Amino acid sequence: MQYFTIATILSSSLLAAAAPAPYLTQRACSIAYPESIGFPINYSISQEAGATNKHDNFVSFNSVPAGSYGCQLEVNFPAGYPITSSGASRVNVYTASGPNSGSLFGTVDFVSSPVARTKFVINSAQCAPTMSYRLSIASEELAGSVAFADTKEAGITMTYNC
């Protein structure tokens, strides 16, 4: 009888030790898309020499639920995604809502790789009911432009709850 009890305890201990340990899986992020009447959203950011005749664009996110955390402004393009650019095409991203409205939020080059998906994280911020940004050519003296179509598969998104 004692042998059976000891054998049962040992075998259950061995089975518990042999069982795979639980593992952590990466959480899926939620994604908010820019506010618009529909897709595509055609962005065209440009300026002439001396930062004259500027044409800035705005992007706004109003669909991040209350209580969300870790809002991150991102740019994603599939391989070979068509982007038109010339001259100084680097873009400064400024906050256009909230207490820091008008401050530089980040800088990005809108480019896609011919062979691989590209992802750029512009910056992250505390989530708010409305998160808006102004896109403007970064150079203060050179002419430049960049243009692309923003769709659900490519362009600017806001990830949160990661």
Residue linked to tokens 């080059």: 109
Cα–Cα distance between 71 and 30 in angstroms, integer? 10
Query: Residue 1: inside a domain, yes or no?
Result: no
Residue 139 lies in a domain: yes
- Cβ proximity of 122 and 134 under 8 Å: no
Q: Is the peptide bond before 40 cis (omega within 30 degrees of 0)?
A: yes
Say if 2 falls within a structural domain: no
Does residue 20 form part of some domain?
Answer: no
Residue 86 in domain: yes
98 has pLDDT over 80:
yes
Parent domain of 80: 29-160
CB 82 within 8 Å of CB 146 = no
Split into its structural domains, the chain has a count of 1
The answer to whether the CB of 131 falls within 8 A of the CB of 34 is no
CATH number at residue 101: 2.60.120
Which residues fall within 8 angstroms of residue 40, CB to CB, at 6 or more apart? 149, 150, 151
Tens-place pLDDT, residues 69-95: 999 999 999 999 999 999 999 999 999
pLDDT tens, position by position, 22-53: 555 556 899 999 987 667 889 999 999 999 99
Asked if residue 56 is part of any domain, the answer here is: yes
